[in-house]
Structure 1
Amino acid sequence: MSKNLEIPSVLACERKLDPSDAIFHAGHWNDREDASRWAPIPIRSKCLRGTISNRLKTKDQDPAKLDADIEKPNLQTVDVATLPTNADTLRVQFTLRVLAGAGTPSVCNKVEYQKKLVQTVQIYREKEGFTELAKRYAANLANGRFLWRNRIGAENVQVKVALLKDGEPEQSRFFDALSLDLRKLDSINDDAVQSLGTVIADGLTGNKRHVLLQVTAFARVGAGQEVFPSQELVLNNDKSKNKNKVKQGKTLYAVAGVAAIHSQKIGNALRTIDTWYEDADEWGPIAVEPYGAVTTRSMAHRQPKRKLDFYTLLDNWLLNGKEPSVEQQHYVMAVLIRGGVFGEAESKKTSDEASDDAS
């Protein structure tokens, strides 16, 4: 039957790790247990008169014109977020829903393919129970990877993960984030990490009907120090010919005026568990992506020519009966947990509609 399966033109899966935006507050390290002592961190603007620092084209340029370009001030407005001068600690808080049903398509136009996919995931779930993946997701919560740049240079970082029931913390776990290695996700023997991994695995397998975690991280970075919410992507649609207009150099993300990190960036940090690709010893864990893309390095670590990309592994598994190694099975399941649009779209309209359903 497998060889007669057709790849669906429309195939989409919903994400099963669903984080909220992460909101920034400021306070004192010793007030971590007193929620009333923490104030929202606003976004504010600075107008700067900087210098030109980017590489200029110098070949065949008029020296006088080149000198004028270099000497011209670089005027720009940038958004910033900082701790107050009377607060030394950043608090970052978000919630995370863990859902069952990984690998069950939300949209699929080939019934037999869907049956085979669901059956394959079921066999994996019965054999592995999502234990390895859940442990790695737990490790990325415990080590504070989701803090991104805010983790760097911090004196102390504590992460609190609470399992919520009826809106109240039922069980809380505390982690010293800086004591956990960001690169060694497969060798963490911390009992609290293992316990948190069990909770996440129960949510992914459906053993626990409702898993909602509240994650609170405290980073002691110093009074008045700059903190780093997400930066917005601003397309250059300004067609104004006013050369003297001060340009917006950096726009930061805020929720109701409070500095925050995009939920997508939180999700990227949590799924940075892929150490099963070639050259992983050199580069360390990367975010789970169909082609192993890392945009900050302009690299794709799972190019199709290496036969380790998601689509090659999935097609060999479902269509050709070639079961991947256990490590690559973990990777395929992690992509399904990530969710997305995986079909061969017949048209752009079809692809867009499927993408909306999978969001």
Structure 2
Amino acid sequence: MATSAAQIIGKVSVLAFEKKLVPSDGYMYGTTWDNRFAHTTPLALIEKSVRGTISNRFKKKDSDAFIADPAKLDAKVESPNLQTVDVCALGQEQDTLKLTFTLKVLSGVERPSACNNAAFNQSYTNVAKAYIAKYGFTELANRYASNIANARFLWRNRVGAENIEVHVKVLNKGIEASWVFNAVQIPLRTFDENNVQISELAARIASALSGKNDFLMLEINAYAQIGKAQEVYPSEELVLDKGNSKSKKSKILYAVNSHAAMHSQKIGNALRSIDTWYPNYENFETGPIAVEPYGAVTNLGVAYRNPKNKADFYNLFDKYSRGKELANASEEHYVMAVLVRGGVFGESAGESAGE
């Protein structure tokens, strides 16, 4: 039996790729829609102490006790559910949220940042260069550009906004350009919008990803008219040790030097929510998901790219990077999108490469 190319190349225990879409944190400001370019004020967090009601689901033994003696439930709800939380809102005369961040797009996807197998490195580089020559990153770039234009990165702040406008500016010297997008008119679930401005922005992104330019630096300002004094939603911090102290906050929002902000990771997750290629996509209401090795959507508790279907990143990458053809262009786009995302993808001991 002939030895396969995968067996010749062998295992790659050290393999890493640096991310090629690098957003900054997003900073939040309050303004008015009619005066949004002239005057903005940084938004600060507000601490509130609230007296909530007992509303959690009780254990069955407690429920049975309340049924047997309703007075026990009355006594239970008399105890207030005291909470201290962070909130953030526009000023009394402000009706518009401004979110500003920068995005750097880097070249060099064809070169791992770390790889301990020279044969694999050469094989992967050849495959990546062939992908660039064939597709030029145009499909991925169009999807990234669409997610900038439709303001997906606003997340919950996008819901219920009367107007949303996204201003994009190229900061690279000598190739300056700018665009303005009406985000509410650009769909969130499809990427086939025939929009000249999106195509122009996508061309700049594709040029950087494919190495025609070393990098692209964008400044992005989004304006969402959400209503006077309405609450806005910065990122929420992960509280690892809540303890039992009633004095501790139950919700801590993200701020930088007291300036309400959104995590760069959350913005990045929105920009790479381009995966419509996962199995049975048309049968789900989920829409595009963030590019992940297993198609994980944590808030739904679902991995849309289960290895059982051999549609996960590792099954596809192990074949593709060693010169084997994938079933279709969608699988190629997905693999390269994960590499743009970046990560550590080395094989652990005992695995057989390419199987």
Give TM-score scaled by structure 2 length: 0.91
CA contact (8 A) 2:234 2:260 kept: yes
Aligned-partner Cα distance in 1 for 2:16–2:75 = 54
Match of 1:342 in 2: 345
Question: Does 2:182 align with 1:176?
Answer: yes
Aligned counterpart in structure 2 of residue 133 of structure 1, from 118, 122, 140: 140
Map Cα deviations across residues 216-264 of structure 1 (whole Å, 9 max, x no partner): 00000111100000000011253x6x5xx23412100011111111000
Residue type matched to 1:11 in 2? L
Map Cα deviations across residues 289-313 of structure 1 (whole Å, 9 max, x no partner): 0000000100000000011000001
Q: Shift of the alpha carbon at 1:62?
A: 3.0
Map Cα deviations across residues 64-123 of structure 1 (whole Å, 9 max, x no partner): 555433432110100001000011110000000000011421111111111111111110
SS at match of 1:215: strand
CA contact (8 A) 2:123 2:322 kept: no
Aligned-partner Cα distance in 1 for 2:242–2:233 = 25
Match of 1:48 in 2: 50
Map Cα deviations across residues 318-344 of structure 1 (whole Å, 9 max, x no partner): 347243310110000000000001112
Equivalent residues in 2 for 1:253-264 (5 A)? 253-264=254-265
Q: Aligned pairs, how many?
A: 338
Residue type matched to 1:93 in 2? T
Q: Shift of the alpha carbon at 1:55?
A: 1.2
Counting aligned pairs with the same residue, the percent is: 49
CA contact (8 A) 2:150 2:181 kept: yes
Aligned-partner Cα distance in 2 for 1:5–1:71 = 69
Aligned-partner Cα distance in 2 for 1:159–1:169 = 20
Question: Does 2:214 align with 1:212?
Answer: no
Aligned-partner Cα distance in 1 for 2:221–2:175 = 12
Aligned-partner Cα distance in 1 for 2:238–2:205 = 32
SS at match of 1:79: strand
CA contact (8 A) 2:124 2:322 kept: no
Aligned counterpart in structure 2 of residue 93 of structure 1, from 100, 103, 107: 100
Residue type matched to 2:8 in 1? N
Match of 1:22 in 2: 26
Map Cα deviations across residues 12-48 of structure 1 (whole Å, 9 max, x no partner): 10000000000001111122332xx111000110000
Unaligned runs of 5+ residues in structure 1 are: 347-359
Aligned-partner Cα distance in 1 for 2:150–2:265 = 18
Moved more, 62-71 or 107-116: 62-71
Match of 2:162 in 1: 155
CA contact (8 A) 1:103 1:337 kept: no
Question: Does 2:306 align with 1:303?
Answer: yes
Map Cα deviations across residues 133-155 of structure 1 (whole Å, 9 max, x no partner): 00000000000000000000001
Aligned counterpart in structure 2 of residue 10 of structure 1, from 7, 14, 17: 14
Aligned counterpart in structure 1 of residue 336 of structure 2, from 326, 333, 338: 333
Moved more, 225-234 or 315-324: 315-324
Aligned-partner Cα distance in 1 for 2:304–2:273 = 13
Instruction: Report the aligned-residue RMSD.
Output: 1.7
Match of 2:352 in 1: none
CA contact (8 A) 2:43 2:89 kept: yes
Match of 2:205 in 1: 200
Map Cα deviations across residues 254-282 of structure 1 (whole Å, 9 max, x no partner): 11111111000000000000000123222
Residue type matched to 2:295 in 1? G
Q: Shift of the alpha carbon at 1:5?
A: 1.6
CA contact (8 A) 1:3 1:319 kept: no
Question: Does 2:186 align with 1:165?
Answer: no
Question: Does 2:274 align with 1:273?
Answer: yes
* Larger proportion of strand: 1
Match of 2:229 in 1: 224
Aligned-partner Cα distance in 2 for 1:113–1:147 = 40
